[in-house]
Amino acid sequence: MKPLWIELVNTGVANRFELEDQELIEFNWRLTNYPDLYYNIFQHEIGHESGDYKAKDFFHDMKSRTPGLHKFMIMNPSSWNQVLPFYWDRNRKQIVYDFSSIALWIIGALSCIGIFYGLGWLL
């Protein structure tokens, strides 16, 4: 089992990364002002599988309910990049992608296209 490290960052809400010799959970430092939310998000991140289990992680994200998360994201605009499918990580100097966000954006786009064409007969 790899050691688990926690790092406080300025953007996003929380992310879990599996590195070569350790696992890292990044938390937005502003979460420390909300101990209940911090604990709930920590439990959520611990629940993610180690390894490359993208489908399991996606369903874990879909089943997750974290009270207060939306309010936190509204009050802290720097956390909005959590819903982006791709973003630039300044610390690691690389592009980070989130499979769950990519899947949600694809589902949302396909739903919008379906609604557009499905309701097109009304126009």
Cβ count near 100 (within 10 Å)? 19
> Does position 87 have pLDDT exceeding 70, yes or no?
yes
> Does position 53 have pLDDT exceeding 70, yes or no?
no
- Strand ranges (E), the chain: 4-9, 14-18, 23-28, 86-89, 94-97
Of the given ranges (13-17, 19-23, 55-59), which has the lowest mean pLDDT? 55-59
Nearest to 90 by CA among 12, 24, 20: 12
What pTM value is reported for the model?
0.74
